[in-house]
Amino acid sequence: MKKIGILTSGGDAPGMNAAIRAITKSAMHYGIQTVGIRDGFEGLMKGRFINMKYTDVDNIIQRGGTLLGSARCIEFKDKEARKSAVQNVKDAGIEGLIVIGGDGSFRGAHVLAQEVNIPVIGLPGTIDNDLYGTEATIGYDTALNTIVSAIDNIRDTASSHKRVFFVEVMGRNSGFLALNSAIASGAESVLIPETITDIKALAEQLRTQNKGRRSSIVIVAEGDEEGGAMDIMRKIQPHLEDFRLRTTILGHIQRGGSPSYFDRALATRSGVMAVELLMKGISNKMVGIKADELITVDLKDAIEKHAIPNLEKEDILKKLLTK
């Protein structure tokens, strides 16, 4: 193998740069040239390729975002539209591809691998942590830390003003960020898409636990079936008319910033492993992590199955409430 391609796709995640660095440097170590593809599958279709130099990836391990750019490319679902990507890969002499992204990006990688007949490896890069088969995705740990630190700030002002805050965190289809940030920030309650939200019961709980206390924080996953934090506040208001309610939507703050130790290390180890898998001719695998060991997961499983957070963690929050 002489040349491999690398792209980042979907929502960016802190640690993607660390992965790009590890792939480029380790490939070079093995005498392989890395081709950086700009803006995900969009760049693949348009032939926006860069021959990566060692120095291109110096001093980027600490940077958030992705140096290659990312995109959500709907067009790539269309076989006709993909033909240009297939041709570009062949013309550039790319013999293996590493895709860093979420399940949507892996779907694109999976079909492309068949159409060009080259091996493809996926690295899980998403703050949502919703990929089946791995304990952690690149970017998740950093996003959690960002959320927890934001909630610490909200707690200061919430208790100064005796307010109940509904804080919306990302997770379109998944409650990983909400559930784990709720535990670590000392939130009183959490609403996630994986469990049923009962607005009336939540109102009663807030009323009981708020006695003699100065603040309550409810973390709302954006994908909760009752809606985001604004919807929840609107729905609960009639039950808590005497309460001071506020909403904060953390938004894209959660996706940026310098990656944590954990994400840098995960991205670096996974990047090197991805290159070595391609060299062995292994294809259609995602690199995951379990008990600090890197593992491989069938790309098909990562695409078709959905990861669910440990729902017992919700009970932990309940066990900390006053009766």
180 near ligand F6P (CB under 6 A) = no
Query: Tell me, what DSSP letter sits at residue 196?
Result: -
Smallest gap from Cβ 13 to ligand F6P, in A, equals 7
255 near ligand F6P (CB under 6 A) = yes
Q: Are 105 and 302 in contact (CB under 8 A)?
A: no
Smallest gap from Cβ 173 to ligand F6P, in A, equals 8
| Residues 6+ away with beta carbon under 8 Å from 18 | 60, 61, 138, 259, 263, 264, 267, 268, 271
Q: In this chain, which residue has its C-beta nearest to ligand F6P? A: 11
**What backbone phi and psi angles, to 5 degrees, belong to 260?**
-70, 170
11 near ligand F6P (CB under 6 A) = yes
> What is the rounded distance in angstroms from the CA atom of residue 142 to the CA atom of residue 257?
8
171 near ligand F6P (CB under 6 A) = yes
104 near ligand F6P (CB under 6 A) = no
Q: Which is nearer to ligand F6P, 141 or 222 (CB)?
A: 222
Dihedral sign, CA of 130, 293, 40, 147? positive
Q: Which of 14, 59, 33, 17 is nearest to 170 (CA)?
A: 14
> What is the rounded distance in angstroms from the CA atom of residue 214 to the CA atom of residue 163?
7
Residue 199 corresponds to which amino acid? I
Smallest gap from Cβ 233 to ligand F6P, in A, equals 19
Q: Which is nearer to ligand F6P, 88 or 126 (CB)?
A: 126
Which stretch, 15-23, 158-166, 168-176, 242-250, contacts ligand F6P (CB under 6 A)? 168-176
Q: Which is nearer to ligand F6P, 39 or 128 (CB)?
A: 128
Q: What is the set of active-site residues?
A: 128
Among 103, 128, 168, 224, binds ligand F6P (CB under 6 A): 128
Q: Which is nearer to ligand F6P, 43 or 171 (CB)?
A: 171
Q: Which of 144, 227, 225 is nearest to 187 (CA)?
A: 144
Among 1, 4, 112, 127, binds ligand F6P (CB under 6 A): 127
Q: Are 225 and 204 in contact (CB under 8 A)?
A: no
Q: How many CB atoms lie within 10 A of CB 314?
A: 20
Measured distance between the N- and C-terminal CA atoms of the chain, rounded to whole angstroms: 64
172 near ligand F6P (CB under 6 A) = yes
- 189-191/96-101 β-pairing: unpaired
Smallest gap from Cβ 172 to ligand F6P, in A, equals 3
Stretch 287-316 residues interacting with ligand F6P (CB under 6 A) = none
Size of the site for ligand F6P (CB under 6 A): 11
131 near ligand F6P (CB under 6 A) = no
14 near ligand F6P (CB under 6 A) = no
Among 27, 112, 170, 232, binds ligand F6P (CB under 6 A): 170
Q: How many residues does the chain have?
A: 323
Question: Which residues lie near ligand F6P (CB under 6 A)?
Answer: 10-11, 72, 126-128, 170-172, 222, 255
